[in-house]
Each structure stands twice: as C-alpha cells, then as structure tokens.
A and B are shown apart, each in its own frame.
Chain A
C-alpha cells in the first residue's frame, strides 16, 4: 500500500517541543509530508478546512476544546480525514469518549516513530475502533 503521493499530515499540539518532535518523525518517515501545524483544537478545525490533510496527529490535552472534541468535529466536517490521538498517558487512562471520537488510532507520544506511524496508517480501516501501536 505504498502511495505515490505523500500523505499530507497536520500536527496539532499546544506544546512546541512535541510539534518539533512530531515534525522530525515525519521528516524521517517515507510517504508522509508535514503540511501544517496547529496549537489548539479550534485552529486544527480551520486548518483541516484549508489544508485538507489526510492524517491529523492530535494531542489530547490542550487549552480550549480538547483533542477528543476536536477529533469529533473534524471527522464530522471532513469524514475522509484520519485522526490519530496522541498522549503521554496509556490508552486505558483516557476517558471513555476517546474510543468513540472517530479517531482511527491512539499513539503514545513516547512510541511515535516512522515504523509505528506507517503501521497504524496502513492498518487504518475506518471500523470506528481505536487501534494502538
């Protein structure tokens, strides 16, 4: 499933260090391309409408609407968008609505790397369940 065109990716995180780290992961990931960054869920909604990313790496804990709510709104407005929730906590620590937000996968920030990104992307199946690395 190697695409000819790189997957356009939007990074959403209020903390600059993580945006830098995620951008570095994308640079080392063949087949993915960073197209934009957002610092809040609200900004992410605007960016999705303008940039049409295929994949959004979404932080969960942010000021304003959190990543789970932002995911719900993005998937409702642009259902073709694939969202991976990113957190430093375990999936089992997240509130129940993380499962039903419409996100395709959950990635622990400490595990985010080219291989994990590729695998979760290739395994995305839109079955509404949250896959993990």
Chain B
C-alpha cells in the first residue's frame, strides 16, 4: 500500500516540486497540499495521512509552525510520521522536534531536498517509525563543543547502546527500566555513564538526553 503524504510548504515553487516528486513514485501517494498551519491541521484530520512533510516556518506566524504541528501529532495521531524541512541547521528546533522522542521524526535541511533521494528516504523512514536527522544539524549541536563526540559513541558498551536506543524512543528512565527489566537505579547509572562518555555531563538533563539521542541517530546512518 502506498504511503499517503500531506505536504505543507508556503513557498509555492517548492510545494509544486515536492508534489511532483511524490506523485512520481509508485510507493507514495499525494493526499493533499497546503501552505499554513490551520490548513495543515484540517488536512490531517480529513485525510489521515501516513506522513506529513512540513516546512518549519509558515503562516500565520512564520516561526515554528512545523514543530508545533509535529508536537500536536505526537499527541493526537502518534502513528503519523513527520518530516520537518528547515532553512537553517537550528539546533533548538531539532531539540524541540525530538524532545518527546525521535520515533517517526525527520529533520532535514532544505538544501538537502535538492537531492530528492534524501527526502524520499526520510519519508519512507518516518512512515515506518524511523528517524532521520540531517548530519549538519548534529554537527551544529555537538560538533563545536565536542568534536570527538561521534567516535565517543564507539566507547559505549552494548548495554549502554541498548539503553540509548530506548532513550531515542523518548522513554524516561522509569519506562526504560520497565522495558528492559532493570532497576531504575541501574538505568540511571548507565545513562550517567553514557552522558559522561559523550561529554554531556554538564548539560541540563533534557538537552543532554536529546543530544545523546541525536549522536546515536547520526552514527546509525
């Protein structure tokens, strides 16, 4: 069955281009297009798509509509995947997008869309609950402060990687403990070790969780 896609992009040219791209692939179906947040939310309720591809900045405010749509879907339609397109590698937006878990979420730079394969891969990934994070965003997040961060991932034990994989699904320590049948203290011990190995010990808790997850997702590609 084709993946049903709704596109939200206020730039008409880009919207047309992406529409044709979706229509040109048999495994994708264009369920609708729009150019602002209220129409997007209406279209989602009406069409129940599998995936939403959305610009971050759209009317009415031109600030973070795409992120807000993703947050709304996480609660109202958790099975719908979201590909967020951004002009800039703005780490704050990426952190916000992934704060409630990375499942079914992609953050791509618009420059990446020029390579149509990247967008297609992201659509197919989030449709299956996967995640795609633009490498440039990861670099902007962690590159400057800790250039060794990516190779630091290799220092994690298989146990720590398993726990980081659960964190990538947006789970709290208590939820991870329940899933893996561990004590909460054990999960805490392992997450602290993960943060320490990734050089994130000094960060605020929410940020270091998301940063650790971003590194994990980036290294998986």
The secondary-structure label for the interface of chain B is: helix
**Number of residues on chain A facing chain B (CB within 8 A):** 14
Q: Which residues of A contact B181 (CB under 8 A)?
A: 60-61, 66-68, 87, 94-95
Q: Is the CB of A88 within 8 A of B159?
A: yes
Q: Is the CB of A92 within 8 A of B159?
A: no
Q: Is the CB of A94 within 8 A of B159?
A: no
**Number of residues on chain B facing chain A (CB within 8 A):** 11
Nearest-CB distance from A83 to chain B (Å)?
15
| Chain A stretch 81-106: residues in CB contact (< 8 A) with chain B | 87-90, 92-96
Q: Which residues of B contact A89 (CB under 8 A)?
A: 159, 180, 182, 186
Bound Cα distance A90, B190 (Å): 11
Bound Cα distance A90, B177 (Å): 14
Bound Cα distance A87, B181 (Å): 10
Asked if B183 is at the interface (CB within 8 A of a chain A CB), the reply is yes
Q: Which residues of B contact A92 (CB under 8 A)?
A: 186
Q: Is the CB of A61 within 8 A of B186?
A: no
Q: Is the CB of A93 within 8 A of B186?
A: yes
Max chain B Cβ within 10 angstroms of own Cβ: one of A66, A68, A89, A96: A89
With both beta carbons as reference points, the residue of chain B lying nearest to A92 in the complex is identified as B186
Q: Which residues of A pack against B, CB within 8 Å?
A: 60-61, 66-68, 87-90, 92-96
Q: Can you name 24 A-B pairs with beta carbons within 8 Å?
A: A61-B179, A61-B180, A66-B181, A67-B181, A68-B181, A88-B158, A88-B159, A89-B159, A89-B182, A89-B186, A90-B186, A92-B186, A93-B182, A93-B183, A93-B189, A93-B190, A94-B181, A94-B182, A94-B183, A94-B186, A95-B177, A95-B182, A95-B183, A96-B183
